[in-house]
Structure 1
Amino acid sequence: MRTTTLLSAGVALAMLACTSEESPTQPDVVGDPAPAALSLAAAPNSWKPRAPAPFGADIFGYGLGMAPNSAGESIVYTFGGTSDEEDLTGLSIRAYNVATDSWTGRLSRVGVFHSNGIGKIGDKLYFSGGYNEHSSTPFSSNALWAYDYSRDRMIRKADLPIFSAEGVTGVIGGKLYVLPGACNGNGWPSPGYCAVEQTRRFYRYDPATNTWVTRRRSPHYHRKGAAAVVDGKLYVAGGLGEQGSEVTDLDVYDPSTNSWRSLAPIPAGGVASGAALQGQFYVLVQRFDGTSPGHRAYAYNPATNRWKAKAAPDFWGSVTRVTLDGGSHLFTATGDRSALYTP
């Protein structure tokens, strides 16, 4: 997979002007992480291949969102994607039924890749930002979309305040929290653009009023990082920082106080994806520094402020929590591969 460096703009005017990005703050780190050794043999801590995703092996950059169907089965939806080999976006949404281990196509299309993540509110899945196809001007988006999965319909909502991509999203109290990873600087100082590429700006969207508000900035950069909501707080870990450096920081946001706190760093930083499972924050990490293994997985326990190494799949992709036979699992997919994790 390549690391996208071209930053750009979406299709509508942004709502707020960006200001210069100051250096990241450095709160005290609390606690020590557990050793980072991986064990792939222990069962039931294991991954099992599932039905191949209906994309080419070279397709990447699509996100995953989960919503149950009328029978209560977990359905995972794919959003966006692109290819190194050609200028390809506008991929149709695909739906994966965990219970039947089968994929079906949808009519709706998503014209971006590497969005700011997906969150479920009510009967819709929301996603914002992302890169448009490579030849487009502008190259990144500030659009917020709500996908009505029961009707297979895309609904445009109020634009995100900045043109951005490669971020993370969480849902708390029926509101969407978005931490973009990269902001477009090509149009600076026009509204919606940024003076520097990485961003720590943080926003909350209220679907009841269709409005965005600015929240306190995150302490660290988390471009292409991992996020999940555990016990009403947003946990964000890993990703990339300035000049593509691997980030190991773990930051947690408390909406009741509009404040961040930095906790035990993840044992290995890098491009990451995450989900909440059984009260813990699970993170899949992809490393590009030649270390072995290149794919790692960790679980963070908020009660102990400790990380524990877990079995990792033999590929890296977006991840989401699903249910199967009454139990909670993780599902990941990229290209034409997918896998299910049993904790």
Structure 2
Amino acid sequence: MVFRNKLYLIGGRRVNPVDVYDPATNTWTAKSKTPLELHHFQAVVVGDAIYLMGAMTGPYPNETPLEKIVVYYPDEDRFDFVHGVPESRRRGGAGAVYHDGMIYLVGGITNGHIDGFQPWLDRYDPVTGDWDVLADAPHARDHFQAVVSGNRLYSIAGRTTSKATNEVFSRVVAPVDVYDFKTSRWLPESECPVLPTPRAGNMATVWQNEVIVGGGETTQKTAHNDVEAFDTVSGTWRSWPELNRGRHGSGFAIVGEYVYTASGSGNRGGSPELTSIERLELPVAKPAPSSSTTHRGRLRTATAD
């Protein structure tokens, strides 16, 4: 998560301090600890606050969705519990985006890693606390991130986690669900892209007209280092440079001329927990029309494990 040109690492297993990275000085600063164990959320910036949406607490595999939304105020280094989440819509591992004054929460899972994956879409007003239940997405998914490009929400990657059937990592979701804010409708599946490398626990961001998806976990032991970009104008995919270290459970953040990622887990599941941070200089050149659609390279490592 980026706030005022600094990277914020918030939450994770156990109770952890907020770690803040300043790219201008290449230094980390530890701030206050979270008020309880918080994980499996996607954070969004609203004004001077960071909203932790779709958070869960507790140990694997019986994590519990929070009853209230947690907000962190970076200027005050302070956490607060604000509005309640309707009991029937509580879940974690969902995608969250901020658009036109509202926070949209999509997908998620109601019962830790056991079961209860959902296609839900809700609109939350961070000022009044009002919740609106919107039309379900075409696909249920959890353990993913959502982004906004233009006037559309992209619900991308993830899986339908089912510890109940011993299918925690395998049920990845390849189709991308696209919600059009102008029409308040989900696009038909025939008009939506399909993720070339399905994975969950991924990072996602938007750069220019591209939706960027990277990292993640599947049934393979090591976390994914693949980074793929969907051009929302041409409707085509291309490969971006691979991560130096595959990871999941982290995020992408753009500051200045670089996209950053930090921390996360290096293998499927919860370990090893990484302390490294990487960055990729922008822009990432597109291949010439006559060349391959795959762009190769490596992200630069800003600090080591």
TM-score bracket, shorter-length normalisation: 0.7 to 0.9
1:309 to 222, 235, 239: 239
- Per the alignment, residue 96 of structure 2 pairs with 169
**SS at 2:140's partner residue?**
coil
| Residues 239-258 of structure 1 aligned to structure 2 (within 5 Å) | 239-241=158-160, 243=162, 244=168, 245-258=171-184
Letter in 2 for 1:299: A
Do structure 1's residue 156 and structure 2's residue 75 form an aligned pair? no
Partners of 1:142 and 1:160 within 8 A in 2: yes
1:286 to 216, 240, 245: 216
- Per the alignment, residue 228 of structure 2 pairs with 298
- Per the alignment, residue 205 of structure 1 pairs with 124
- Per the alignment, residue 126 of structure 1 pairs with 51
Letter in 1 for 2:130: T
| Residues 216-235 of structure 1 aligned to structure 2 (within 5 Å) | 216-235=135-154
Moved more, 92-101 or 241-250: 241-250
Counterparts in 2 of 1:137 and 1:165: CA distance versus 1, 3 Å: closer
- Per the alignment, residue 266 of structure 1 pairs with 195
CA offset at residue 287 of structure 1? 4.1
Letter in 1 for 2:177: D
More contact order relative to length (CA 8 Å, sep ≥ 6)? 1
Moved more, 285-294 or 331-340: 285-294
TM-score by length of 2: 0.77
- Per the alignment, residue 320 of structure 1 pairs with 252
How far apart in 2 are the matches of 1:131 and 1:206? 20
- Per the alignment, residue 12 of structure 1 pairs with none
**SS at 2:252's partner residue?**
strand
CA offset at residue 284 of structure 1? 0.8
How far apart in 1 are the matches of 2:98 and 2:132? 15
1:95 to 20, 25, 28: 20
- Per the alignment, residue 111 of structure 2 pairs with 184
Letter in 1 for 2:106: L
CA RMSD of aligned residues (A): 2.6
CA offset at residue 151 of structure 1? 0.7
1:336 to 275, 290, 293: 275
Do structure 1's residue 277 and structure 2's residue 207 form an aligned pair? yes
CA offset at residue 185 of structure 1? 8.6
Partners of 1:278 and 1:328 within 8 A in 2: no
How far apart in 2 are the matches of 1:330 and 1:185? 28
Partners of 1:276 and 1:321 within 8 A in 2: no
CA offset at residue 242 of structure 1? 5.8
CA offset at residue 120 of structure 1? 0.8
How far apart in 1 are the matches of 2:61 and 2:117? 21
Moved more, 159-168 or 110-119: 110-119
Do structure 1's residue 80 and structure 2's residue 50 form an aligned pair? no
Letter in 1 for 2:279: L
CA offset at residue 138 of structure 1? 7.3
How far apart in 2 are the matches of 1:154 and 1:111? 10
**SS at 1:223's partner residue?**
coil
How far apart in 1 are the matches of 2:110 and 2:60? 18
Letter in 1 for 2:7: V
CA offset at residue 163 of structure 1? 2.7
- Per the alignment, residue 14 of structure 1 pairs with none
- Per the alignment, residue 2 of structure 2 pairs with 66
How far apart in 2 are the matches of 1:276 and 1:319? 12
Aligned length, in residue pairs:
258
Moved more, 296-305 or 237-246: 237-246
Counterparts in 2 of 1:100 and 1:148: CA distance versus 1, 3 Å: same
Do structure 1's residue 140 and structure 2's residue 65 form an aligned pair? yes
CA offset at residue 108 of structure 1? 3.9
CA deviations over 1:101-160 (Å, ceiling 9, x no partner): 111011241523433301111111101233312299973323212211111111212122
**SS at 2:57's partner residue?**
coil
How far apart in 1 are the matches of 2:142 and 2:79? 26
How far apart in 1 are the matches of 2:85 and 2:131? 7
Partners of 2:145 and 2:157 within 8 A in 1: yes
How far apart in 1 are the matches of 2:112 and 2:38? 18
Letter in 1 for 2:241: A
CA deviations over 1:224-260 (Å, ceiling 9, x no partner): 1232111132111111126441111111112232211
Gaps of 5+ in 2: 163-167, 265-273, 285-305
CA offset at residue 300 of structure 1? 0.7
